[in-house]
């Protein structure tokens, strides 16, 4: 009597309409998950024909009551030996490892406007690639059903769409139609079917290609990166890690359907057996990497023996997959093995960390992230967390982060292992460093590099090299007079305070100081003339706050002159066997020094040669104006010299810019001997800009040249007699 009452109660509690409400296709939806819109029947024997299913579909549809899931109802039905369609209450129907066949039934109602010129194409997609057999039954206009097949037990080329998941096109239909799907697999019975428009499907595929391309790209980069490090260090841990990443990547490609699509579309058997094979090897190499990374032989000997035993077990799974062991057995074993790997490796990491093994830090963080990624994926498939791209791919995201963190951990581990050796040599190295640093204060490191030496001890008498440099000469105007008013101690204090301000500005612009000559500085710029000019401007600008400080202390302000020239010079050593000095010699050095002297004649701060100007970038930002064409004593060819006035005080800089066009016009008249025109313009500039010394100089010149005309050979060239 009780079984009858229980059956009646179950009937009244779970009875629903035989013809449930169909899912409407209005043409506005882009993607519809079928999880809550299907009725599912479990066929434990897998022997039911389609005609049997049609008959069962006309009977009662059970609905899970209370907190029961569809899977719970199936367990009850199996216990009673009954077959019935059960309404799904699972967003993503999944029934674990099962040899049963599952039939899904759903109804669709096409509410598209029949008068529309185009028809929207709808696709049915199986969201889990690793399903063996998928049969889709659809009715034609006369109500007769047709069957199309898919799954990884069929060659990939037989699919309707060249895609990692099985996709069927729904036929064009009007009104309401009923559809059926049969699924049977030796792995996990995961049934995430969805309907989507062709446009939605295309967009999804494009986004997936980006996402998976990024993921597998990261894996490839990390494989190559760690392989290169292995080849350079020969540390076996990197080789284990490369194999670990490679096997996981191949397993993920298999699990996501990309391996069957791209790597072995013609091999059904290998497509099935490769998943447990690669997961087994992934676990083996993962355990071996764990042993090496954590040094478990010494830090956790008991766990080390456990890991060795599990490695043998996992290797057996891989060999079993190759030997033809059933996919169902190897699949179950690989899931258990993968779970054991995460748990045992994670436990080993925390155990060794608690025992004070410092390299376990990165290892523990990495495995925690990987574990959390797996938890998120399980929770999303259980319906606890929302199901989306990120929760679905949480394990892959977690593994990608793990891979990166473990690479950092390997580097950290190697650093720690080398630390003892480094500490043993630290005192000697520190002593050597102090000695070399002390020498470097007298001989620039760049000087040694150009001579091809690493250390001052390698330098020999006569070492020399020819190079192109920009040479900077600068000194303090009137230093002799200034120094006479100071004691020797005050002289040294003043010079050091000045040079401390100027030296870093040279270094920050990629130059180096060759020598100090009293108050003068000679610096070399090997990279570009623009560096030297920028350093000159920075030094000129730094003089303003320096003078402000001197004024506050009751001292007079100082001025400076800077000359720049570019060209070849010889850099090397001179002296004797017991006393060496480094120096640079050549016409380039001499001319730079003379240009610095000319700044006194022209009463300007920075003077550069035409060679420097020619080396500046085409669209440089420096403010330049031509000052003169001079023939220096000892040189045949004249030199065109330019003033760089960026470092001038703001009012003077504005004046020079404002009068630049008229100045150049006047200079042009001067060069061709039209001294009346030149004099008029230079006098106009002198009256308007009295602080600009160059026009005043040309006023004096023009007056003299008018009184004593230079003759027909005039080219505007001045002769400088200073050395």
DSSP 123: E
**Residue 249 and residue 171 share a domain:** no
Average pLDDT, stretch 503-527?
A: 87
Determine the pLDDT at residue 490: 79
Confirm whether 143 is domain-assigned: yes
Confirm whether 1 is domain-assigned: no
What residue numbers bound the domain in which 622 lies?
445-648
Pairing of strands 175-184, 101-110: antiparallel
Average pLDDT, stretch 246-271?
A: 89
pLDDT at 434 over 90: no
pLDDT at 177 over 50: yes
The CATH number of whichever domain residue 471 belongs to comes to 3.30.70.1230
pLDDT at 617 over 80: yes
**Residue 507 and residue 623 share a domain:** yes
Mean pLDDT check: name the lowest of 313-317, 393-397, 558-562, 677-681: 393-397
Q: Following CA atoms 206, 208, 210, 213 in sequence, which dihedral angle do they give, to the nearest 10 degrees?
A: -130
Confirm whether 352 is domain-assigned: yes
Q: Which of 375, 399, 417 is the last residue of a domain?
A: 417
pLDDT band at 13 (very low <50, low <70, confident <90, very high): very low
**Residue 132 and residue 69 share a domain:** yes
Contact of 129 with 150, CB cutoff 8 Å: no
Q: How far is CA 388 from CA 127, 385, 533, in A?
A: 12, 9, 59
What would the two tokens of residue 237 be?
């841990």
Determine the pLDDT at residue 492: 82
The CATH number of whichever domain residue 103 belongs to comes to 2.60.40.2380
pLDDT tens-digit series, residues 517-550:
877 888 999 889 999 999 999 999 998 998 888 8
Contact of 212 with 389, CB cutoff 8 Å: no
Q: How many domains does the chain have?
A: 4
Confirm whether 432 is domain-assigned: no
**Residue 97 and residue 181 share a domain:** yes
Nearest one of 435, 432, 436 to 445, comparing CA atoms: 436
Determine the pLDDT at residue 32: 85
Q: Which of 590, 613, 648 is the last residue of a domain?
A: 648
DSSP 262: I
Nearest one of 98, 268, 306 to 183, comparing CA atoms: 98
pLDDT band at 115 (very low <50, low <70, confident <90, very high): low
Q: Which residues contact 489 (CB under 8 A, 6 or more apart)?
A: none
Q: What is the mean pLDDT of the chain?
A: 82
Q: What angle do CA 431, 437, 438 make, to 5 degrees?
A: 90
Q: How far is the C-alpha of 148 from the C-alpha of 169, rounded, in Å?
A: 10
Q: How far is the C-alpha of 377 from the C-alpha of 29, rounded, in Å?
A: 26
The reported pTM is: 0.53
Q: How far is CA 307 from CA 318, 342, 352, 353, 466, in A?
A: 16, 11, 14, 17, 64
**Residue 143 and residue 64 share a domain:** yes
Average pLDDT, stretch 28-36?
A: 78
Confirm whether 440 is domain-assigned: no
SS3 letters across 277-314: HHHHHHHHHHHHHHHHHHCHHHHCHHHHHHHHHHHHHH
Nearest one of 676, 678, 659, 660 to 668, comparing CA atoms: 678
**Residue 248 and residue 175 share a domain:** no
**Residue 141 and residue 108 share a domain:** yes
Q: Which residues contact 246 (CB under 8 A, 6 or more apart)?
A: 223
The pair phi, psi for residue 384, each rounded to 5°, is: -75, -40
pLDDT at 18 over 50: no
Out of 216-225, 341-350, 391-400, 621-630, the most confident range is 621-630
Q: Which of 142, 177, 201 is the last residue of a domain?
A: 201
Confirm whether 675 is domain-assigned: yes
Average pLDDT, stretch 259-276?
A: 88
Determine the pLDDT at residue 61: 86
**Residue 592 and residue 695 share a domain:** no
Confirm whether 429 is domain-assigned: no
**Residue 215 and residue 85 share a domain:** no
pLDDT at 471 over 80: yes
Average pLDDT, stretch 141-159?
A: 91
Determine the pLDDT at residue 134: 95
Can you tell me whether residue 343 is helix, strand or coil? Answer: helix
Determine the pLDDT at residue 406: 79
pLDDT band at 132 (very low <50, low <70, confident <90, very high): very high
Determine the pLDDT at residue 431: 57
Can you tell me whether residue 364 is helix, strand or coil? Answer: helix
Average pLDDT, stretch 41-56?
A: 92
Determine the pLDDT at residue 2: 31
Q: Following CA atoms 575, 581, 585, 588 in sequence, which dihedral angle do they give, to the nearest 10 degrees?
A: -170
**Residue 679 and residue 600 share a domain:** no
**Residue 221 and residue 117 share a domain:** no
Determine the pLDDT at residue 255: 84
Taking the alpha carbons at both ends of the chain, their separation in whole angstroms is 128
* % of the chain with per-residue pLDDT over 70: 85
The CATH number of whichever domain residue 257 belongs to comes to 1.20.1070.10
Confirm whether 72 is domain-assigned: yes
Distance of CA 404 to the CA centre of its chain: 12
Nearest one of 310, 249, 312, 305 to 282, comparing CA atoms: 249
pLDDT tens-digit series, residues 362-408:
788 887 887 787 778 667 655 577 766 677 777 778 788 888 887 77
Nearest one of 522, 540, 556 to 643, comparing CA atoms: 540
Mean pLDDT check: name the lowest of 196-200, 591-595, 697-701: 196-200
Average pLDDT, stretch 148-175?
A: 91
* % of the chain with per-residue pLDDT over 90: 30
**Residue 244 and residue 387 share a domain:** yes
């Amino acid at each position: 009597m009780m079984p009858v009452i229980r059956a009646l109660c179950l009937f009244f509690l779970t009875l629903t309409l035989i013809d449930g409400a169909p899912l409407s296709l209005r043409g506005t939806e882009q993607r519809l998950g079928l999880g809550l819109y299907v009725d599912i029947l479990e066929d434990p024997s897998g022997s039911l024909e389609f005609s049997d299913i049609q008959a069962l579909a006309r009977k009662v549809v059970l609905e899970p009551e209370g907190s029961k899931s569809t899977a719970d109802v199936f367990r009850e039905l199996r216990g009673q030996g009954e077959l019935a369609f059960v309404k799904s209450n699972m967003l993503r129907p999944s029934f674990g490892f099962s040899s049963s066949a599952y039939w899904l039934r759903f109804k669709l109602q096409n509410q598209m406007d029949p008068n529309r010129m185009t028809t929207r194409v709808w696709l049915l997609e199986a969201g889990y690639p690793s399903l063996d057999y998928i049969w889709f039954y659809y009715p034609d206009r006369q109500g007769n059903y047709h069957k199309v097949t898919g799954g990884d037990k069929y060659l990939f080329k037989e699919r309707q769409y060249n895609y990692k998941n099985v996709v069927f096109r729904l036929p064009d239909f009007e009104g309401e139609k009923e559809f059926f799907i049969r699924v049977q697999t030796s792995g996990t019975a995961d049934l995430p079917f969805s309907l989507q428009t062709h446009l939605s499907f295309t967009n999804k595929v494009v986004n997936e290609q980006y996402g998976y391309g990024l993921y597998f790209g990261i894996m490839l980069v990390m494989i190559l990166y760690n392989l290169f490090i292995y080849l350079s260090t020969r540390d076996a841990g990197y080789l284990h890690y490369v194999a670990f990443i490679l096997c996981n990547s191949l397993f993920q490609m298999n699990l996501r359907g990309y391996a069957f699509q791209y790597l072995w579309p013609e091999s059904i058997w290998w497509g099935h057996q490769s998943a447990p094979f690669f997961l087994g090897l992934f676990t083996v190499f993962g355990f071996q990497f764990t042993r090496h990374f954590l040094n478990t032989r010494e830090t956790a000997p008991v766990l080390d023996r456990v890991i060795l035993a599990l490695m043998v077990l996992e290797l057996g799974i891989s060999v079993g997959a190759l030997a033809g062991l059933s996919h169902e057995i190897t699949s179950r074993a690989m899931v258990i093995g993968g779970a054991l790997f995460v748990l045992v490796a994670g436990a080993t990491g925390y155990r060794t960390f608690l025992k004070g093994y410092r390299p376990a830090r990165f290892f523990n963080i990495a495995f925690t992230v990987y574990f959390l990624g797996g938890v998120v994926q399980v929770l999303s498939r259980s319906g606890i967390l929302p199901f989306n791209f990120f929760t679905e791919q949480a394990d892959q995201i977690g593994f990608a982060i793990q891979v990166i963190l473990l690479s950092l951990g390997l580097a950290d581990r190697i650093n720690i292992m080398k630390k003892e050796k480094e500490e043993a040599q630290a005192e000697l190295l520190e002593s050597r460093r102090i000695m070399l640093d002390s020498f470097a204060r007298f001989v620039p490191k760049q000087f040694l590099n150009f001579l091809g030496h690493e250390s001052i001890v390698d330098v020999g008498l006569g070492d020399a090299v020819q190079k192109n440099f920009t040479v900077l000469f600068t000194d303090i105007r009137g230093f002799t007079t200034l120094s006479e008013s100071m004691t020797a101690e005050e002289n040294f204090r003043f010079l050091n305070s000045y040079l401390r301000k100027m030296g870093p500005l040279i270094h920050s612009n990629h130059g180096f100081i060759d020598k100090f000559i009293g108050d003068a500085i000679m610096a070399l710029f090997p990279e570009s003339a623009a560096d030297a000019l920028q350093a000159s401007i920075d030094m000129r600008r730094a003089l303003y706050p320096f003078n402000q400080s001197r004024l506050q202390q009751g001292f007079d302000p100082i001025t400076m002159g800077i000359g720049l020239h570019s060209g070849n010079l010889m850099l090397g050593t001179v002296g004797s066997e017991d006393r060496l000095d480094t120096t640079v010699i050549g016409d380039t050095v001499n001319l730079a020094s003379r240009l610095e002297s000319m700044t006194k004649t022209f009463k300007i701060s920075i003077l550069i040669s035409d060679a420097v100007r020619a080396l500046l970038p085409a669209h440089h930002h420096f403010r330049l104006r031509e000052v003169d064409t001079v023939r220096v004593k000892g040189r045949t060819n004249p030199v065109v010299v330019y003033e760089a006035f960026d470092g001038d005080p703001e009012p003077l800089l504005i004046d020079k810019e404002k009068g630049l066009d008229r100045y150049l016009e006047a200079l042009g008249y001067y060069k061709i001997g039209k001294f009346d025109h030149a004099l008029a313009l230079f006098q106009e500039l002198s009256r308007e800009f009295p602080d600009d010394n160059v026009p005043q100089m040309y006023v004096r010149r023009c007056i003299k040249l008018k009184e004593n005309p230079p003759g027909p050979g005039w080219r505007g060239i001045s002769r400088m007699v200073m050395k």
